[in-house]
Structure 1
């Protein structure tokens, strides 16, 4: 018998989906307002609708989590604050955040509002989870890429609530790390507007289109690990999808907790879910995948369906004959009368089954335009009539709230009606009505009273226990009883709603305030000379390193900092002698950590091993940021800071540690204020360089502007090594680079970023080399008009931002 029972967390893109989730047994729902949510194109909720949603959910003991899991600008914090005030007072159960600035803002202004870190924060290790906990999070949402073993490790070592995606659509990129939609068409996933370019064709098929996840069969393992919340994706799906998924996971979790879980039942329920929505069949995601075998073709095939990116339905058979306006096929599943089928021709042909068909039955059904249908064409069921009717019944008969009712009718006294929650008798309401009169005829009986008071129609309540205390020979108008019943139930609901609310203990927001008293409107450098210029160069392999040496020797470049990927050292691509070459004696060396750390290495161990070779570190993910802070803490005693103890004195936080607003900048700079380090923040590729979107930088923070390089559009674990480029068929070819240390793939933009025309507007410039060969590296530093003219570049969002 299991004791841990995770909550079932349902998506609610609109009020219909919320009601379906409640009816199906959800323990909690996540939803968004019209701003700040990662699904801008879902139905979402107005301010009033959000309050209604909290009211309805709390009435049914269902929690409500608000998604504000996008990156926001300084100018938007006032709107965020004003949106949160009434929700905070109404008892909103938590907010879900991606932005470190928002996390710090909520913790400061709404101190009793729980914070959940979004999967877009990309936390994969216990160190990352502990960091989030230390900074105010009560729960982390695990990255979809995590295995059961990795989830178990966080639960065992971090002592924080853990939420895991178990069903629905999957991003091919690590959530929060994707810039593809932003750079390809100006719709930023980090701003809630992803256009899903991953569902487009590349190299002639859908190389990036992930299957949907279904993990019903893994419920025992997820429960045993201690996962606190099983999350269903789908805020853009309809109420039938929500009801079907919630009811399936709810029932099977209950089965396992009660000791009667059945793998066969899980398989049957998975088939039901396929009928509601799937993309070429389900995948169990990464739960059981060996990440040391990343880039394996078999692994990629289990995750990605290259044939079709949209909803396909359930395969029911293949055309064996076309004759006389009918198609003949052998059914591979039972088909119901009224089921809608789709014959997968170039222009799909839709038909409806006129009768029940049994599995293995050879059947002929009428079809329009049979001239377009060929033998061996696949047939799919796109609507299961029986299942749809079953779900409609579930949705239209929502679960009721159980209450007890006592009616007291004493001659000469006022009518007295008391109602209380059956599971919480201490929460009750007593209301009084008209005076009870002596009956002239037809006195009220207990049966009549019960009939009038317990029939609640479409109310959210039902009467579990009814008690009447009444004199004989009394009369009360039926209208008075109904009015009193309505008043009592409304007040009971309001009492519960108010009991879950909060006092107005939030702190005031001032438009003239800043997140840091030491903030300056300067460009972020701590060097104030007008002509100050610093050059940073990143290389990814030995050939590029040799080109950089040549450029320095030829005086084509004066480099101040050189970044070297950790993989170059770990895989023996370069030696310490290569790094200490005399031609680079005046260049500071920076060790660039990977985009992802799944526990493959320890930041502390890497710094101890290579620290004497490097002057700084370049951090690309929250997990390594947490590891670096842990490293610094181990070197300092309280109230004692000695630079002699620091192996690495320069910290550079990458664009992927989003410093998208002044609150995030202040938060990040505050992490290192006691460690005596020189701190750089790399500008986000989505922020305008002309104004930096009004971000304010503390005087000790140095802003780096990438001015050349292929922008990393995706970081993914789903692709295999057979791919080296992806061609969209419209003139763009994207390049891939694989990491053997942390087992991921980076997909780079088809065109390099080039801000050579804007270099004078920035003081600290970064050149980022990824796939360039020796000659291409040298060509970049020539910056000749011919080179610029003969190559395709992008300026990204430098001028307009997102």
Structure 2
């Protein structure tokens, strides 16, 4: 039988119990800090001890989310939290931060680490590199197809986990900066404000035409239950249910349905039940090639519900309805039109003049309703009280997972003995010897029936009786209370043994304190006086770059007091203009996402580049791309999508043979300064900051242009037009659309401009600057000319201190939560 784990969310204690009783093999949950769902109830340290013990007692694994980026000053706290989890038997931690991974591997090598979906692992090479780094499991990106998941799972030693049900992020997880850019609430820090669930217009910048408001970036919820038989063909996988913000009713309903599907096969009833809990409508997501019209819900971003009633008439504050489904007191009904919703709770239901608690489908009823709704409108049931109450009741029913064979012996003048033989994998055997002495019965003698009755009282435990064998002398007696005590001791000892999985030693506090005290690498200002500033100009279009290269013809780069490096984020365009670009020492930048359809071409390009520049520079956008580069001796640089936000992450890069890197765009000046002071002295001059250009805020496998204008991908509208998302403040976020893959990037409405901060960056030890040199409807010729024609950094700064375009400092000053 294939090894398949059913992994449940647990945002509260009630949801956790529901998950266990519904049949989850494992749960994932968070503490009060460092998890990617801050708004969930989550668990205190004392509660974590209890739930880990409880879950292990119930043969359920516990994975704790520590899947946010960790700021420098938080490392001691987060490592003390890891130490606490390690010593209290947690099965694994889920991580995003590569620096945190390094610190854990160094101090707690036995602790399993899972790579969060926030790390954007999306191909086999990346998964192989995750194994090299020390992960035991990878949570794959939600955008992968079933075929890609199948191929990865068959070609790796790691456990593979992927989402099969719940909310979908429209951006690749870990590649979304929109929430932090707009309001400082970072998805990488567990504080996402979900701007994707807002209404937008899609505007054609070429023609000026724009759509009406709709929820163009809000996908339906993922549901793959109807593909359960395909999922069961995979091996060594974990099927993950999203929902740490959801209640116990949702968790029980979804987990129990998938449990039945895995154990017994697909059934229609379970499939229908998903619509009775919270859902934004349901689709197979990207896993099974869902077309745009079935992937997205442009109508509303909240729970969709099920059709419940048709409006017949409204008068005197009451609505007459013809029911399309059973209606119960406490159900919530909603009418929606053009993204607006009005609703009520059915606290009063009238059939004629009679007030009722429930009414069947096709019945005509009246309910109070104060809003105006047109006749024949359909109302949706968004809260099914009877179903939810049933799920909550079922979620509290203790699941039986062990059976016990009791052997009881009572001989006159001796101590009674109870032996329990349990059905756990170790076939545990526990012997309980009573302190009491079996005595001659004075009135009522002990009999087998009474023993079986008392030993069978196992209610409230996960243990049930398989059999009871009694060996009892005639006419003897022991107190019933002693029988009960022996039974309790046996069960408690057994469950206590089950609740402990690992024999872990106490860890060394001094090694954690050493993280905080690692300040021996303070920047030596004299050492940095001769450091050369370096401008890294990033182009994403080979044709655009070729147009600019003519400006270089008569320039002497060696006469400058700073360095200029040119990069191209377009490997196909690089291939087409290979010789010309290499003549200007243009450096390739690998794309953030490399799916299977580009893999062969990428590998051919790397071989070609290596044959010409065997020790050349190359910049990566994902840590897993180091696996692609393993056969070569390139000088590797790491771009900002790696989310490097602390010095431990930089040390991890050093260990992976990366020579330079770009700090996360979510860092403030002070945070960069703090982290820079802790770097290896040899690495101090190797950090870079994003100082100019429109910042990519989302990277999506779905294109809102195709979604809004034609309802499908491959529309090719972006080949002739430029587009933007327009929000309710009339701010336009340009879209970079990839017509070949129908992938889209949402760009910042304003340019980041930190050119006036170059002196401040120099003071904190940053001498390399990343500049995005092209964007929709924007020509960087003036800035490019300034950089290429100036002799000093001061000239560049003075000429571009105030840009004629709207600009922002991003998170450089204000920071993120």
Give the TM-score, by structure 1 length.
0.87
Superposed displacement of residue 462, structure 1: 2.8
What is the correspondence of 1:404-553 to structure 2 with a 5 Å cutoff? Answer: 404-424=405-425, 426-433=427-434, 434-498=436-500, 500-504=501-505, 506=507, 509-511=510-512, 513=514, 520-522=521-523, 528-530=528-530, 532-541=532-541, 542-543=543-544, 546-547=547-548, 550=551
In structure 1, the partner of 2:593 is: 596
Superposed displacement of residue 199, structure 1: 1.1
- The yes-or-no answer on 1:605 pairing with 2:604 is yes
2:274 aligned counterpart, secondary structure: helix
In structure 1, the partner of 2:25 is: 27
In structure 2, the partner of 1:768 is: 772
Superposed displacement of residue 273, structure 1: 0.8
Structure 1 alignment gaps of length 5 or more: 256-260, 291-298, 633-645, 674-678
Within the candidate set 332, 345, 348, 2:343 is matched to 348
Within the candidate set 669, 675, 695, 1:694 is matched to 675
Deviations 1:559-598 (A, max 9, x none): 52011122561685xx2465257xxx5xx42111112111
Q: Does the aligned pair in 2 maintain the 1:409–1:436 contact within 8 Å? A: yes
Distance 1:515 1:83 in 2: 15
Q: Which deviates further from its counterpart, 370-379 or 193-202?
A: 370-379
Superposed displacement of residue 185, structure 1: 0.9
Distance 1:559 1:731 in 2: 39
Distance 1:189 1:720 in 2: 21
- The yes-or-no answer on 1:322 pairing with 2:314 is yes
Distance 2:177 2:108 in 1: 31
Deviations 1:503-536 (A, max 9, x none): 317565525635999984449x998334521111
Q: Which deviates further from its counterpart, 96-105 or 769-778?
A: 769-778
Distance 1:205 1:684 in 2: 32
In structure 1, the partner of 2:565 is: 561
Superposed displacement of residue 772, structure 1: 5.3
Distance 1:493 1:394 in 2: 23
What is the correspondence of 1:181-580 to structure 2 with a 5 Å cutoff? Answer: 181-203=179-201, 204-226=213-235, 228-255=237-264, 261-262=265-266, 265=267, 267-279=268-280, 281-289=281-289, 299-323=291-315, 326-333=318-325, 335=327, 339-344=331-336, 346-351=341-346, 354=356, 361=362, 363-369=363-369, 372-400=372-400, 401-424=402-425, 426-433=427-434, 434-498=436-500, 500-504=501-505, 506=507, 509-511=510-512, 513=514, 520-522=521-523, 528-530=528-530, 532-541=532-541, 542-543=543-544, 546-547=547-548, 550=551, 560-567=564-571, 569=573, 572=576, 575-576=577-578, 578-579=580-581
Deviations 1:56-102 (A, max 9, x none): 11111111111111111233332233223343234322221111122
Within the candidate set 6, 9, 19, 2:7 is matched to 9
Superposed displacement of residue 660, structure 1: 2.1
In structure 2, the partner of 1:682 is: 662
Distance 1:786 1:658 in 2: 27
Q: Does the aligned pair in 2 maintain the 1:122–1:622 contact within 8 Å? A: no
Mark the CA change 1:252 to 1:470 in structure 2 (over 3 Å): closer, same or farther: same
Q: Does the aligned pair in 2 maintain the 1:597–1:621 contact within 8 Å? A: no
- The yes-or-no answer on 1:668 pairing with 2:650 is no
Superposed displacement of residue 350, structure 1: 3.2
Within the candidate set 677, 689, 694, 1:705 is matched to 689
Distance 1:99 1:300 in 2: 33
Distance 2:552 2:734 in 1: 25
2:302 aligned counterpart, secondary structure: coil
Superposed displacement of residue 20, structure 1: 0.3
Q: Does the aligned pair in 2 maintain the 1:211–1:283 contact within 8 Å? A: yes
Within the candidate set 675, 678, 701, 1:717 is matched to 701
In structure 2, the partner of 1:46 is: 44
Q: Which deviates further from its counterpart, 534-543 or 399-408?
A: 399-408
1:721 aligned counterpart, secondary structure: helix
Within the candidate set 104, 127, 133, 2:102 is matched to 104
1:448 aligned counterpart, secondary structure: helix
Mark the CA change 1:396 to 1:516 in structure 2 (over 3 Å): closer, same or farther: closer
1:486 aligned counterpart, secondary structure: helix
In structure 1, the partner of 2:812 is: 798
Distance 1:716 1:367 in 2: 44
In structure 1, the partner of 2:793 is: none
Q: Which deviates further from its counterpart, 132-141 or 790-799?
A: 790-799
Q: Does the aligned pair in 1 maintain the 2:773–2:780 contact within 8 Å? A: no
Q: CA RMSD in A?
A: 3.0
Q: Does the aligned pair in 2 maintain the 1:516–1:666 contact within 8 Å? A: no
Mark the CA change 1:577 to 1:526 in structure 2 (over 3 Å): closer, same or farther: farther
In structure 2, the partner of 1:735 is: 734
Mark the CA change 1:348 to 1:774 in structure 2 (over 3 Å): closer, same or farther: closer
Q: How many residues align?
A: 751
Give the TM-score, by structure 2 length.
0.85
Deviations 1:270-303 (A, max 9, x none): 2211111111x1010011228xxxxxxxx33322
Distance 1:726 1:548 in 2: 32
Deviations 1:433-465 (A, max 9, x none): 322222221222222222233223323433332
Superposed displacement of residue 5, structure 1: 4.5
Distance 2:106 2:612 in 1: 40
Structure 2 alignment gaps of length 5 or more: 202-212, 350-355, 709-722, 787-795
Deviations 1:733-760 (A, max 9, x none): 2111023455421111111111122101
In structure 2, the partner of 1:156 is: 154
Q: Which deviates further from its counterpart, 588-597 or 87-96?
A: 87-96
Q: Does the aligned pair in 1 maintain the 2:694–2:747 contact within 8 Å? A: yes
